[in-house]
Amino acid sequence: MERLDKVLSNMGYGTRKEVKALVKNGRVTLNGSVVKDSSMHIEPEKDEIYINGEKLCYKKYIYLMMNKPKGVISATYDGYDKTVIDLLSVEDAIFNPAPVGRLDKDTVGLLLITNDGELNHRLLSPKKHVSKRYYARIEGRVTDEDVLKFKEGILLDDGYKTLSSELYILKSDEESEIEVV
């Protein structure tokens, strides 16, 4: 059971104060009856809710796949650059989703976006050991020496050593194609 005002607010029908005004003006019905109390508890998966005569399709979570374009950052907000959330429709953005992980600004690729915080954590937590596979086209030749460096872990400029990973060379040329697991 959840509060009606919280459900409607989470679905983008306004702040709780604005939802309270919708209810006060008789614009919300629940199972055929006009709602009088915006704080009443409901079962959103079972109850029939109408707002302004339109049936509400309740969704607690949304799961979106995006082909992130180049030049867009994997963030919910940024004061300078366009974010993946800026590219969403209003209908999806009202759920306050967040990207699962990140792709660099100049990287194009599949990005999962959701408001399911538990799933986001399960996919990203190192303790859960969810393997990830990346395919990339990069400038320059890739060598067996690079494969060995990935296997041993790479020491970065800031002193951090990455975890071991598998580098597969799909094509080594002026522009190479690799896969990293």
| Residues designated as active site | 104
Read off φ and ψ for residue 99, nearest 5 degrees. -70, 145
DSSP letter at 163 equals: P
Joined together, the tokens standing for residue 176 give 């190479």
Cα–Cα separations (whole angstroms), residue 77 to 22, 87, 138, 172: 29, 11, 28, 37
Contacts of 11 (CB under 8 A, 6+ apart): 56, 58, 59, 94, 95
Which residue's structure tokens are 């607690």?
60
Element (H, E) at 50: strand 49-51
The pairing of strands 41-42 and 2-3 is: antiparallel
Number of Cβ within 10 Å of residue 94's Cβ equals 17
